[in-house]
Amino acid sequence: MAGCSSDSPADAPANSIATVTSADRTGSPPTESGAATAVTGSGAGQPPPETETATLQISAFAEGSGYSFGTPSGQIQCRVTSSTLACQTRGRPHTVTSNSLCKIRLGEEQGRADLFGYLEGGTLPCATVTQGEVYVSPHTLGYGQRVTFELTQGIAVTCGSATDGLTCTDTDYSNGVGFFLSVDTFTQL
């Protein structure tokens, strides 16, 4: 998989946490359909709305040499190392804007992108082609739940799962950096 290293959970900051919220109580069926208009969130510079939260140690998402989670539908799978957050939609390739491409595998990414996130230690999310194995996490980030990971490039990224897809944003809300991912859509925020 592009952008991943063999970092171990011991390499992550000791104060890393996962914040789980119960925001989605609609009981809507899982779709992760790519309906980007259904994405809800606050504008740049605004924190997310208040919800009930419970805090878990990051070890709840530990797996192998890093951390991982998948959405309840299993259609989006993510791996986290100390320097990358890489999410796959393997078997569901995307066509994205040229500015959204990672430019790791020139000429191969457009129309075939199925790996998304903060890759190769970058500070901006991008899209590329999966190299290596198809990945399935043993951990699920339920709809209406969020988890935060600290990356070594000085950012902390919060990912929130919803029936329409996965939204991951830098926790510094003033810069608005992040992405929305569904089985049909990848959008840099």
From residue 60, alpha-carbon distances to 12, 19, 139, 174 in Å are: 13, 11, 8, 29
Mean pLDDT (whole number) for 94-102: 92
What percent of the chain shows pLDDT beyond 90? Answer: 38
Beta carbons within 8 Å of 4's beta carbon, 6+ residues apart: 66, 79, 81, 84, 86
pTM above 0.75, yes or no: no
Q: Which of 171, 176, 142, 167 is nearest to 156 (CA)?
A: 171
Beta carbons within 8 Å of 106's beta carbon, 6+ residues apart: none
Instruction: Please report, as a single letter, which amino acid is at residue 23.
Output: A
Q: What is the pLDDT of residues 50-80, one digit of tens each?
A: 444 444 567 778 888 789 999 999 999 999 9
pLDDT of residue 176: 63
- Tokens read off for 3: 């952008």
pLDDT of residue 61: 87
pLDDT band for 31, please (50, 70, 90 cuts).
Answer: low
Mean pLDDT (whole number) for 41-55: 43
What percent of the chain shows pLDDT beyond 70? Answer: 68
Out of 21-25, 147-151, 165-169, give the one with best mean pLDDT: 165-169
What number of other Cβ atoms are within 10 A of residue 51's Cβ?
Answer: 14
* Sign of the torsion angle spanned by Cα atoms 55, 10, 102, 105: negative
pLDDT of residue 33: 57
DSSP state of 128: E
Mean pLDDT (whole number) for 146-163: 89
